[in-house]
């Protein structure tokens, strides 16, 4: 029986319809269960504070909610009962089933619309924390590798054409710095998420004198989604903004995977991985395929398609809740795990990367230093355009002599001066802006009853 | 003749090819002209500081660059000469043409790749400033309207179904608060943009001892794009991030337009506009069409497609510059103007909006207050689920009595407590984070020679 | 052990890596199992014909393959063994395990690249057949409803504004005709799919003298993907084209769902559904939400995002197989089922639709016939523009008299002349172009040994 | 003054608003002018046939319309007058201005909604014809090059890894065959477009006894869009379907461009182009950049984003006309020209391609023939898996001997048997299905008065 069903007779609702509208909800919803309990604890504490629950009811409810959290959810014993629509209903059902009438009191001043929003926000907050940690460790590895290989030169390309000298120090560090801009987006997504929607109910607030600041404080949100219409309008929008930030991280991995697929090819042959990390072919015995990076590239490209998918779902919908938002959950909830796995596998692979040291010896890289020669002429007094014409003519007439010694780049961010410390400092500063301790503090206070 | 052409004979390059590869560059590039001059002034000042230009050359160059800025660009007399590929070449060409050999010296330690990046960044910085100002004025109008109409009730909908009471105060204010989250994204896009790429050259730095911190300071950037490979990797990525933030603003307008199109329809009839602001039909004499809002909706939806368009262009490209990035400019440069026009027209329209005052009198809205009745029963001691069942039964048996007086929502963000001041404060705080004065200061220092 | 593993020692390959690269393959791959067997039967028959298998080996292999098809796959007893990478390996493994050395002979002249292509093509062929049947039955219902309600008028809207008279006859039939254009796309996708890739191996053909025409004929393909490089290039492209055609059907459902959500709202109130087919609210006892149609709308919008997702994955990949293609399967294989369910639920709902008969009585629809009045004036001798001005002036001065009798539209496709028979004929003609019998014939011949 | 303006006083409508809602219409609309005249000629002929115009009026109107077509549009003298909203209004205005009252009669039984649909359909028909011709000539060139270079071997890659022998014959021909599948989509888009919407008026038909079959025949449409609601619903949908088919062609070019960018790089060095067709660098004197192909790749990727852009605009719009559709025109009308230019430049480039003949001599390609060796072992009696293990072991122990002679692939579509004739036949058969002569016949009959 659904919590919105009005009498017993109506509930022989078509089963096929039910399955269709519930979709994959029940399984995915388990991801939200701990957050639903926490949101509910905060909500009932607030209800008691405004006199809609007495203290005894509150104690009974909190005791049971904490039990569900600690002894059912944390121990993986929490499940959706047959015919229960979603995790919100399941928890309300358990309370009513176990505690009787008092369980029926908890939905005052709340709708499933703001309840699912709170759940999503607490879920996102926790998931972003995990993403940030894994990104930071990946970032750290990139900088380590950059330092380790800072003296190994490689060709730099533009237009897929051999252009100028680059180095593995530069290459690894470039992707580290890329993660900083991505992290700025993650931080913004976190801040946009980290606002309290509770009290917006179905999107138009409640006639109860709810204390929204109290739930904001209990749940550790940075602020309120004040306007109740906007709180609900954030549905779909929040998911889009969060996936845009995840997609930015994903694109950094995807691009680096693309580089690696090229560098692993025999035509580049810049790097390699041990045999046990590459894949063979069912017909070509000599192949060592970079499958892991192709899979990462494709998965990350797919992640990058999510914001557009969400946009197609919500485009041109007027304000107010629409059931369409539920469908967004089906791909949104698992995306964090997908991305975390990509980072973790990528890190595992990079721990085994083998960098070739004598790449530039090959004849085809002989013009790599032509700009350096131009620059030397400039330092001898040529104007830049004259020097450029001279070297171009030399190359054409095959009189060009490559230059491989006395090569030095010294300015910030160049081969000889990677500024990895500055890059590390930028990231650290950014990471410190996330107030992740609040997540644990909220759990300790609401679930374990510790004082703040 | 192109600046990269090596001898006179090669330049009978196919004209069709040239037109094809230049594309709409020459016209669009005019938007970048002032920024190219400013970036060049900073670059030559830095070249002089490291001894690659003498002081006299510097003075000559700066004088001419300032002349171009003040007397050609600002007065709309700056043009692209026939056969000149882009704005960078045009300015270098003018300098060489007017000053002789000294003009050929300015490209030392620079590539068109970092030059266009600087131009884009200075352009974006300026455009975001204008966007922020127009958004803020639109935001202000929304809050004014929210206050003005805070006592006018309207139905709130979920699933397009009449749900609960809402108000014009809530509705206007919801879109104001929406702009705050959008603005957070704009601010992040601004910060990601506001880093100095100069010195990254073609993406692999330079063998000259460039002083990148000096150009960072001269151009008022918040920081450097340190790693030179990453600086170039930001191309495409930066445009995507910026358009994602613009798209977020656009979606707020699009959604509000959708509401307005519904509210203007005879089936809702909540608002109207004076005749001179609506459009007729070529065959139906009674029509008053909301064309302006349909056009805004469509233009904003189109803007929201831009990040995906950019992604399709750059997806799976390896690191390093590709000419593909140029094509992004064609739709990226004009998007700021498109969005500004949408805001400005929308604001003009809202200044003439007429709100209907007696909407809720219609019979179809009689159940609008059913939740309030449920809540009153709860306050009389019913549990929520019991009260819900009782009201549902009353509605079914047609015994339900609507409630229209003693209606009060008092919690934060609800009809009776809009928290517009809190919303305004959030926006102000956010706006203050943009350090827009730096834009003017840079111009004054580099173009008009004022001391900082 | 993988079929491409070279020795026993290498197979302590990281488990996490394996799981990551296999992904959801093993479960999804079961959908391909019957098709893999059929493709393999055709392949081994061909191998025998060119002397790469002797007749006895062929008989043993075919017997076992048929056994797997009939007694394991059809009875749902077929499973992927632990550690087996994909369905192709599983079937090869079963053969080798049960038949010994002869099982190792089947992969001659074949790669997993053309094998998965064949599987996908046979799978798509079968799925399209099912889609076509369900679409046709949905189409039929729409035309029935169109006939049933052809005399019930409703307002026609443009710009969400009341425009001119329409009818339920027109409305239902419009979506029927929409399915015809969608079906043209499905037919094209079918034809593009229905070409034999077998023999293209890894994308570069084979040095064995394969008889590709024989497998084309055995598998009932319309033609060959001749060029072996193109055969492989079809991967990703084929899925995109197929999903574009499915998306076109999906958008027809999505648009009709959007209409229904509006028509169900109290502000339109054109149609209704029995209580047991609508959904309630957890806090508003009067609500009857159109959840089914919102879910259909969202699912169909999500389906319409698939072609772009595929494009983002394959954009800018050079020719030749990439492992990225595997990731496409994860959302591609299940999409057929998703769409079929949307059609089946939609049909179920339409069987219960209740159409309101007196819609036009409401005062707000009084101008609905203004064009008819204009037209009557034209028939009395006014020029169109004069008549238009006269009626517009009458409306403005409130002298306009609505016209509700003698209303007749008689031209093709109008209210009074729906041309449903012509529409039905177009669809029938189109359906007849699909040669679906071949699917069954191939099974009978290859699996049950019946002569063609 | 607009044709839908009701009195003189209302037309001091805000100019900014007008500009905003007209957008780029007036310039783009010129592309539609010839088609608007043709559609109007057919419409007035039909009006006369049902008695809404007398024969004399018809003659006067047709004479003037033909004059506009031949002496103003064809000679590029046709322009939009200041303040005229669109091409439809301009032509109606010219007729009224020149012919007086008779000009006001032509809009009977027509709305701008079906008028723009007819214009678009006639425009698309003509543009598709041009696209087909240019694609066919490109296809032809690919097959020529395939024949010319059929004996030049190159490495075939999978996963960017050297895999098996391929050839330039295979490579060129693969893209030729790709165009066949694309052309199937173009043909379907053509058929979906080529249906008569005239008579659907604003989307709900007309009370005049219009003869829609007559205009269908006069305009050479294959059939009617019967249902008038669907005729209008085709707006947006038709553009999406057409751009999906153009995008398929574009993706073929984009992929081939990607191959070429790689093959031109020094790391592959498979092909080259004369200097005058490549581009230099502003700082690196040795560079020869493949800019043309990068621009084609990016432009084609952008074209491939159009269907999604259109989807975002129309997603979740209910049935009936919305002004949003106008915005689609802004990028839709020019896309044909963009794509034609890409084909024409690409063809120009391919005419100058230089293919390197001794690619396989390089040491890194030595394992290219390993599968051939496996296959030879199979033909000597090894099972495939045994042969595979043997060769893999030989490679590992560096005992593998490459095989370069006696290399032969003979099956259909392989290096030794390209089947270019079969591919050519498929394309010819497909091209013949387009009945393009009708386009010219319609012009001759309606504009030049020739009998059919």
Here the ipTM equals 0.94
> For chain B, how many helices (H) and strands (E)?
16, 6
D147 HSE (CA, 13 A, CB side): 10
Q: Which two tokens stand for residue D63?
A: 């004479």
Instruction: Look at C411 and D212 and tell me if their CB atoms are within 8 Å.
Output: yes
Judging by DSSP bridges, how do beta strands A161-167 and A153-158 pair with one another?
antiparallel
Judging by DSSP bridges, how do beta strands C354-355 and D223-224 pair with one another?
unpaired
pLDDT, tens digit, 9 for 90 and up, residues A23-34: 666 678 899 999
Beta bridge partners of B272: B354
Judging by DSSP bridges, how do beta strands D271-272 and D354-355 pair with one another?
antiparallel
Check pLDDT > 80 for residue A5. no
Domain that holds residue C258: 113-361+419-446
Q: By CA distance, what is B372's nearest residue in C?
A: C284
Q: Which of B181, B384, B412 sits opposite A105 (nearest CB)?
A: B384
Nearest CA-CA distance, residue C301 and chain D, Å? 8
**DSSP string across D312-379:** HHHTTPPSS--THHHHHHHHHHHHHHHHHHHHHHHHHHHTT-EE-S-GGGSGGGGGGGHHHHHHHHHH
Rounded to an integer, the average pLDDT of B102-127 is 94
Rounded to an integer, the average pLDDT of C202-217 is 96
Q: Is residue B2 included in any domain, yes or no?
A: no
pLDDT of residue D275: 82
Together in a domain, D219 and D293: yes
pLDDT of residue B13: 56
Q: Are A231 and B411 in contact (CB under 8 A)?
A: no
Judging by DSSP bridges, how do beta strands A354-355 and D271-272 pair with one another?
unpaired
Domain boundary among B59, B87, B108: B108
Domain of residue A337, CATH code = 1.20.200.10
Out of A75-84, C302-311, D377-386, pick the least confident: D377-386
pLDDT band at D83 (very low <50, low <70, confident <90, very high): confident
Residue in B291, B324, B334, B340 to test binding to D, most D beta-carbons within 10 Å: B324
- Chain D touched by B313 (CB under 8 Å): yes
Domain boundary among A92, A108, A124: A108
Check pLDDT > 60 for residue A13. no
Together in a domain, D177 and D63: no
- Chain C touched by D386 (CB under 8 Å): yes
Check pLDDT > 80 for residue C186. yes
pLDDT, tens digit, 9 for 90 and up, residues D84-138: 888 998 999 999 999 998 998 888 899 999 999 999 999 999 999 999 999 999 9
Together in a domain, D321 and D389: no
pLDDT of residue D139: 98
pLDDT of residue C3: 52
Together in a domain, A135 and A39: no
Q: Is residue D10 included in any domain, yes or no?
A: no
Out of A40-49, A217-226, B135-144, C78-87, pick the least confident: C78-87
pLDDT, tens digit, 9 for 90 and up, residues D317-355: 999 999 999 999 999 999 999 999 999 999 999 999 999
Rounded to an integer, the average pLDDT of B296-314 is 97
Check pLDDT > 90 for residue D375. no
Q: What angle do CA D155, D159, D162 make, to 5 degrees?
A: 25
Together in a domain, C41 and C188: no
pLDDT, tens digit, 9 for 90 and up, residues A364-406: 898 888 878 888 888 888 888 888 888 888 887 888 876 655 6
pLDDT, tens digit, 9 for 90 and up, residues A283-341: 666 667 889 999 999 999 999 999 999 999 999 999 999 999 999 999 999 999 999 99
Burial of C151 (0-12, 13-18, 19+ CB in 10 A): exposed
Q: How far is CA D219 from the centre of its chain?
A: 22
Whole-angstrom distance, CA of residue C325 vs CA of residue A298: 8
pLDDT, tens digit, 9 for 90 and up, residues C365-392: 988 888 788 888 888 888 888 888 888 8
Q: Is residue A28 included in any domain, yes or no?
A: yes
Q: What percent of chain D has pLDDT over 90?
A: 75
- Chain A touched by C235 (CB under 8 Å): no
Together in a domain, D352 and D236: yes
Helix extents (H) in C265-355: 291-303, 306-314, 324-350
Judging by DSSP bridges, how do beta strands B354-355 and B271-272 pair with one another?
antiparallel
D5-43 residues labelled b (16+ CB within 10 A) or e (exposed): ebeeeeeebbeebeebbbbebbebbbbbbbbbbbbbbbb
Q: What angle do CA D293, B107, B91 make, to 5 degrees?
A: 80
pLDDT of residue D283: 61
Q: By CA distance, what is B295's nearest residue in D?
A: D324
Q: Are B117 and B200 in contact (CB under 8 A)?
A: yes
Quote the mean pLDDT of chain B.
Answer: 91
- Chain B touched by A191 (CB under 8 Å): yes
Together in a domain, B348 and B389: no
Check pLDDT > 90 for residue B388. no
Together in a domain, C351 and C368: no
Cβ count within 10 A of residue D363: 7
Nearest CA-CA distance, residue C259 and chain B, Å? 11
Q: How far is CA A4 from the centre of its chain?
A: 35
- What one-character DSSP code corresponds to residue B70? I
pLDDT of residue A283: 61
Q: Is residue A10 included in any domain, yes or no?
A: no
Q: Which of A159, A315, A370 sits opposite D290 (nearest CB)?
A: A159
Size of interface C-D (CB pairs under 8 A): 350
pLDDT of residue D169: 98
Q: Are D104 and D96 in contact (CB under 8 A)?
A: yes
> For chain D, how many helices (H) and strands (E)?
16, 6
Cβ contacts (< 8 Å) between A344 and chain C: which residues?
Answer: 16
Whole-angstrom distance, CA of residue D288 vs CA of residue D280: 5
Q: Are D317 and D237 in contact (CB under 8 A)?
A: no
Rounded to an integer, the average pLDDT of B248-257 is 98
Q: Is residue B6 included in any domain, yes or no?
A: no
Out of A43-52, B79-88, D6-15, pick the least confident: D6-15
Out of C82-86, C342-346, D69-73, pick the least confident: C82-86
Rounded to an integer, the average pLDDT of D189-200 is 98
Q: Are D241 and C188 in contact (CB under 8 A)?
A: no
- Chain D touched by B3 (CB under 8 Å): yes
Q: Which of D174, D213, D227 sits opposite C174 (nearest CB)?
A: D227
From chain B residues 267-296, the ones with a CB under 8 A of any chain C CB are 267-269, 280-281, 283-291, 294
Quote the mean pLDDT of chain A.
Answer: 91
- What one-character DSSP code corresponds to residue A361? G
Together in a domain, C405 and C312: no
Q: Which two tokens stand for residue C89?
A: 């390996």
pLDDT of residue B8: 38
Whole-angstrom distance, CA of residue A219 vs CA of residue C207: 68
Rounded to an integer, the average pLDDT of D265-273 is 95
Together in a domain, B335 and B201: yes
Chain B adjacent subunits, 3+ CB pairs under 8 A: A, C, D
Nearest CA-CA distance, residue A47 and chain B, Å? 12
Q: Is residue A4 included in any domain, yes or no?
A: no
Structural domains in chain A (count) = 3
Question: Which of residues D7 and C94 earns the better pLDDT score?
Answer: C94
Residue A370, H or E segment = helix A370-379
Whole-angstrom distance, CA of residue D245 vs CA of residue C181: 14
Rounded to an integer, the average pLDDT of A136-142 is 98
pLDDT of residue B153: 95
Q: What percent of chain A has pLDDT over 90?
A: 75
Q: Is residue B452 included in any domain, yes or no?
A: no
pLDDT of residue D24: 67
Q: Which two tokens stand for residue B413?
A: 């963000």
Backbone angles phi, psi at A281, to 5 degrees: -115, 150
Q: How far is CA A43 from the centre of its chain?
A: 28
Q: Are D191 and D241 in contact (CB under 8 A)?
A: no
Nearest CA-CA distance, residue D317 and chain A, Å? 7
Query: What's the alpha-carbon Rg for chain B, to the nearest Å?
Result: 29
Whole-angstrom distance, CA of residue A396 vs CA of residue A364: 15
* C-alpha distance from residue C158 to each of A166, C36, C393, D201, D234 (Å): 60, 51, 21, 11, 14
pLDDT of residue C10: 41
pLDDT, tens digit, 9 for 90 and up, residues A209-268: 999 999 999 999 999 999 999 999 999 999 999 999 999 999 999 999 999 999 999 999
pLDDT of residue D8: 38
Domain of residue C83, CATH code = 1.10.275.10
Cβ count within 10 A of residue B150: 18
Q: Which of B20, B281, B326 sits opposite D292 (nearest CB)?
A: B20
Q: Which residue has the tokens 């309290």?
A: A196
Whole-angstrom distance, CA of residue A321 vs CA of residue C297: 14
Q: Is residue C55 included in any domain, yes or no?
A: yes
Together in a domain, C92 and C170: no
Domain boundary among B59, B81, B108: B108
Together in a domain, C380 and C286: no
Q: Which of A88, A285, A292 sits opposite C21 (nearest CB)?
A: A292
Residue A362, H or E segment = none
pLDDT of residue A403: 63
Instruction: Look at A17 and C277 and tell me if their CB atoms are within 8 Å.
Output: yes
Query: What's the alpha-carbon Rg for chain C, to the nearest Å?
Result: 29
Instruction: Look at B6 and D301 and tell me if their CB atoms are within 8 Å.
Output: no
Rounded to an integer, the average pLDDT of C399-412 is 76
């Amino acid at each position: 029986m659904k919590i919105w069903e009005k009498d017993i007779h109506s509930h022989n609702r078509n089963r096929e319809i039910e399955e269709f509208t519930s979709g994959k909800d029940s399984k995915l919803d388990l991801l939200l269960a701990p957050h639903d309990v926490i949101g509910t604890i905060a909500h009932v504490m607030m209800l008691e504070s405004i006199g809609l629950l007495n203290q005894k009811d509150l104690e009974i409810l909190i005791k049971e909610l904490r039990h569900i959290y600690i002894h059912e959810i944390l121990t993986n014993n929490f499940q959706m009962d047959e015919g229960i629509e979603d995790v919100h209903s399941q928890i309300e059902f358990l309370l009513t089933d176990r505690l009787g009438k008092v369980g029926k009191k908890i939905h005052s001043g709340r709708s499933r619309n703001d309840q699912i929003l709170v759940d999503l926000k607490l879920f996102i907050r926790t998931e972003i924390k995990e993403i940030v940690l894994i990104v930071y460790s990946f970032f750290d590895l990139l900088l380590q590798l950059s330092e380790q290989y800072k003296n190994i030169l490689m060709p730099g390309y533009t237009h897929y054409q051999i252009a100028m000298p680059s180095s593995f120090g530069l290459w690894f560090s470039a992707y580290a710095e890329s993660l900083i801009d991505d992290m700025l987006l993650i931080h913004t997504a976190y801040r946009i998420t980290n606002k309290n929607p509770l009290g917006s109910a179905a999107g138009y607030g409640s006639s109860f004198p709810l204390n929204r600041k109290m739930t904001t404080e209990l749940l550790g949100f940075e602020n309120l989604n004040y306007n109740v219409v906007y709180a609900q309008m954030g549905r779909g929008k929040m998911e889009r903004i969060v996936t845009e930030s995840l997609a930015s991280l994903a694109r950094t991995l995807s691009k680096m995977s693309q580089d690696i697929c090229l560098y692993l090819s025999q035509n580049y042959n810049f790097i390699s991985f041990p045999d046990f990390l590459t894949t063979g072919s069912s017909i070509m015995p000599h192949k060592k395929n970079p499958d892991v990076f192709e899979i990462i590239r494709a998965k990350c490209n797919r992640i990058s398609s999510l914001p557009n998918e969400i946009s197609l779902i919500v485009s041109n919908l007027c304000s107010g809740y629409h059931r369409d938002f539920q469908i967004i959950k089906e791909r949104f909830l698992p995306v964090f795990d997908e991305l975390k796995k990509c980072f973790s596998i990528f890190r595992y692979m990079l721990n085994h990367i083998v960098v070739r040291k004598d790449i530039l010896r090959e004849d085809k890289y002989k013009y790599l230093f032509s700009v350096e020669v131009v620059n030397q002429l400039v330092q001898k007094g040529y104007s830049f355009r004259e020097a450029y014409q001279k070297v171009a003519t030399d190359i054409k007439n095959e009189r060009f002599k490559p230059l491989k010694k006395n090569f030095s780049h010294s300015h910030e961010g160049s081969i000889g001066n990677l500024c990895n410390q500055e890059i590390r400092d930028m990231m650290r500063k950014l990471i410190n802006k996330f107030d992740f301790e609040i997540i644990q503090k909220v759990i300790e206070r609401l679930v374990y009853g510790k004082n703040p």
